[in-house]
Amino acid sequence: MVLLAGACASGAGRTSSVTTSGHAPTTRRAAQGAPGARPSAGCRSGTAGSASSTTASTVSGASTMSLDGVERTYSLAAQRLRQGVPAPVIVLLHGMGQTAEAIDAISDLPRVANAAGMIVITPQATGSPTMWQPSGTGPDAEFIGRLLEQVGSTHCVDTARIYLVGFSVGAVMAASYACAHQDQIAAIAALSVQFPSNCTKPLSMIAFHGTADPIVPYAPGGKGAIGGGAGTEANMAAWAKLNGCAAEPETTSVAVKVDRLVWPHCPDGVSLELYRTTGGGHDWPGSATNGDPIPRDEAVDASKLIVAFLPAHHLAA
């Protein structure tokens, strides 16, 4: 198992970039009230974003939660939610040494997801440097679970469409939590880390990785860099086997330096795809981060692709 790694891109702001996806219409339909939705308790509570609200509140900045005597912080972005419509939820997990505020700014995912009628929760890891403890149990996993419970009670949430999105070690945490809670998480997105899972049943995933990533190598081995192991495509192939998809992906070019690898013949409701950026580093594709080796007009917009991909996947009613 490739277990991870860490360092994260810095910077803030964002401009538009090339976006390629065949899923966008599904995103809009899902945000407006998808078939098989499971309304949370918040849909009946009369609080912001619930069935009795005329508009949803905009919540931003850091909030706190006490967990076993430890104060944990997170941000919540919930705007443009439709009255009485259960909203999908994304939990966004930052990388090592990063903050919730930084990944919100770098990815621009809260804005992109809110525009599609989705809620974004961005929890903050602890430690110095900040670091998740990737597991389906323990304080970090409990923190994620408590956040989902709280938001479901105060907002109108579609509990069949809860997703985890992680960057670097955040992707390790996303996969670890999702595999331990497959009755709760419908799909994940993993950026700059992919590794074979310990899931017991299929789990859809959209992934992104640069071939020149100096932190988590794309190719097997990765001399001189943290991470290594079997390499991204071998690890994705392990996911394909778990998901019951074909062993070999179909590859198409979607931008100047970006290929989209899709593993076909998956069971109904399951999908697996990887965006491979030739020369790309340890970055969030399409963001305006400092030092990104791929110009934004030659990249794909990972946030838009994630928001298009995720809502098409949901837990059974």
Instruction: Give tens-digit pLDDT for 104-133.
Output: 999 999 999 999 999 999 999 999 999 999
Instruction: Give tens-digit pLDDT for 169-218.
Output: 999 999 999 999 999 999 999 999 988 878 999 999 999 999 999 999 99
**For range 141-157, the mean pLDDT:** 95
Q: Evaluate whether 139 touches 67 at the Cβ level (below 8 Å).
A: yes
The percent of residues in the chain predicted with pLDDT above 90, rounded, is 67
If you average pLDDT over every residue of the chain, what do you get? 84
Buried b or exposed e, range 12-28, using 16+ CB within 10 angstroms: eebeebbbbbebeebbe
DSSP, residue by residue, 119-143: EEEEE--BTTTTB---SSSSHHHHH
Measured in degrees and rounded to the nearest 5, phi and psi for residue 242 equal -60, -40
Per-residue model confidence (pLDDT) at position 2 = 36
- Is pLDDT above 50 for 9? no
- Is pLDDT above 70 for 249? yes
Measured in degrees and rounded to the nearest 5, phi and psi for residue 177 equal -65, -45
The percent of residues in the chain predicted with pLDDT above 70, rounded, is 81
Instruction: Give tens-digit pLDDT for 86-96.
Output: 999 999 999 99
d(CA 116, CA 111): 9
In this structure, of 7-11, 150-154, 218-222, 270-274, the range with the lowest mean pLDDT score is 7-11
**Nearest alpha carbon to residue 124 among 95, 163, 145, 148:** 95
CA distance from start to end of the chain: 33
Q: What pTM did the predictor assign?
A: 0.86
**For range 285-299, the mean pLDDT:** 76
Half-sphere exposure of 164 (CA within 13 A, CB side): 31
Instruction: Give tens-digit pLDDT for 59-78.
Output: 556 789 988 888 999 999 99
**For residue 18, what pLDDT band results from cuts at 50, 70 and 90?**
very low
**For range 262-273, the mean pLDDT:** 97
- Is pLDDT above 60 for 82? yes
Query: Do you find a cis peptide bond into 264, omega within 30 degrees of 0?
Result: no
Per-residue model confidence (pLDDT) at position 311 = 95
In this structure, of 12-16, 65-69, 81-85, the range with the lowest mean pLDDT score is 12-16
- Is pLDDT above 80 for 32? no
**For residue 142, what pLDDT band results from cuts at 50, 70 and 90?**
very high
Per-residue model confidence (pLDDT) at position 35 = 82
Q: Which CATH superfamily is domain 24-312 in?
A: Alpha/Beta hydrolase fold, catalytic domain (3.40.50.1820)
Per-residue model confidence (pLDDT) at position 5 = 39
